[in-house]
Amino acid sequence: MTPINNSTSRLNTEQKESINYNKGPLLIVAGAGTGKTFVIVEKIKHIIKNKLAQPENILALTFTEKAAAEMEERVDKALPFGYFPMWISTFHSFADKILKEEAIHIGINPSYKLLTQTESVMFLNSNLYKFKLNYFRPAGNPQKFTESLYQHFSRLKDEYISPLEYLSWAKSKQKSDLEKEEKEKIIELAYAYEQYQKLMIKHDNMDFSDLNFYLLELFKERKNILNKYKTIFKYILVDEFQDTNIAQYELIKVLTPSLTNPNLTVVGDDSQAIYKFRGASVSNILTFMKDYKNAKLISLRKNYRSNQQILDGAYRLIQKNNPDTLESKLKISKNLISQKSSPTPAEKINLIWTNDSDEEANAVVSEIIKLKEKYSYSDIAILVRANNHADSFAKTLSQKGVPYQFLGPGVLYKQPEIKDLIAYLK
């Protein structure tokens, strides 16, 4: 049996402290490029190496499948052969795994079908006339609001609001000063939410928001099952904590009650919260120290990705979010310190101000052509907020004969020649 790989020589002081601390809850505030995933992997290895827990007693949760796979691969390479598989997964996969075993205890078929967003909307459409809808099923276009209804129901479950709670709230609004039409909309939504959940269970269906919601229901209704998993998981580590939603954080709190001084480590950074539109609640990371009063706080500030010029520019911009930031509330510094050495001083950040997207694209591509004197095209990247924002850049790059590669989902089918080929085949 080979020993666990040792990579502690690469750790800085704050990273070592984060890895070695195992006396209760721990919040690691990890800025961009400070090696947070590396720290979680090293912490898992430290726990196993020092026999603080067996691999099967460690639960590591993250936000995306890609991040979970990366973490699992790193840990797997570090462990000797013969170890039991660890619980490294996304919140959804974790919930799905337990519900497949235990859902029968709350009257749910463990062989349920997990629906994608598209399938869930199609399910809504096919059952639309089983809902008591007036405003949200207009006669001229009955399916107009189905996707919005699905999104609304998903958000309710992400915030762990049950149909009963929502209906109770909607009924209380009927006595308020709201306009009659608004009251009707609210009560209509509440009954539709209740009906949607009943229909999904009746047809043995689940959507992704159901997974965390029903796992919480299972744990709260069946204490014996909750205690079973609390006994299994002696160490829980959560990556990208700023991207968790209310139901996911509630799940963590149920598994690791603050009064038990649990071995809970959460790693995140409120400045990197990007999934609020999907229900992520940045308040989770802002209130963690209140929920776990005995928690230790460690801030990782050494950045291994960018030069100081970029870090300083980003920090000045993020300061505009004060006082609603972790840095302001906890009185800590999140000003990152670059660990990259460069033979030449970093150039100043240049702001190009234009009137519209076409003008912006022309200015950026002109700048790229100038940079070609010192760099290769492969050294240059354009980052955009959303995929469709890249269209004007792609058009201008093509017009000016600048080669480019667009990295994004569904790119192949957007290429003119592929679109022509599909049209021809049709």
Q: Indicate whether 415 pLDDT > 90.
A: no
Q: Indicate whether 255 pLDDT > 90.
A: yes
- pLDDT value of position 8: 58
- Of residues 177 and 411, the one with the higher pLDDT is 177
Give residue 349's identity as a one-letter amino acid code.
I
- Of residues 1 and 369, the one with the higher pLDDT is 369
Q: Are the C-beta atoms of residues 255 and 290 closer than 8 Å to each other?
A: no
Which of 301-338 are b and which e, b meaning 16 or more Cβ less than 10 Å from the residue's Cβ? Answer: bbbeebebebbbebbeebeeeeeebbbeeeeeebebeb
- pLDDT value of position 275: 61
Phi-psi region of 153 (alpha: psi -120 to 50; beta: other; left: phi over 0): alpha
Q: Are the C-beta atoms of residues 97 and 66 closer than 8 Å to each other?
A: no
Q: Indicate whether 355 pLDDT > 50.
A: yes
- pLDDT value of position 281: 58
pLDDT (tens digit, 9 = 90+) per residue, 366-410? 999 999 998 999 999 999 988 888 889 999 999 999 999 888 766
- pLDDT value of position 84: 59
Q: Are the C-beta atoms of residues 331 and 63 closer than 8 Å to each other?
A: no
Angle between helix axes 223-232 and 246-255 (nearest 10 degrees) is 80
pLDDT (tens digit, 9 = 90+) per residue, 57-72? 999 998 888 888 888 8
**Which pLDDT band, with edges at 50, 70 and 90, does 156 fall under?**
very high
- pLDDT value of position 410: 64
Q: Indicate whether 280 pLDDT > 70.
A: no
DSSP 168-209: HHHHHHTTSSS-HHHHHHHHHHHHHHHHHHHHHHHTTEE-HH
- pLDDT value of position 92: 94
What share of the chain has pLDDT > 90, as a percent? 65
Q: What is the mean pLDDT of the chain?
A: 89
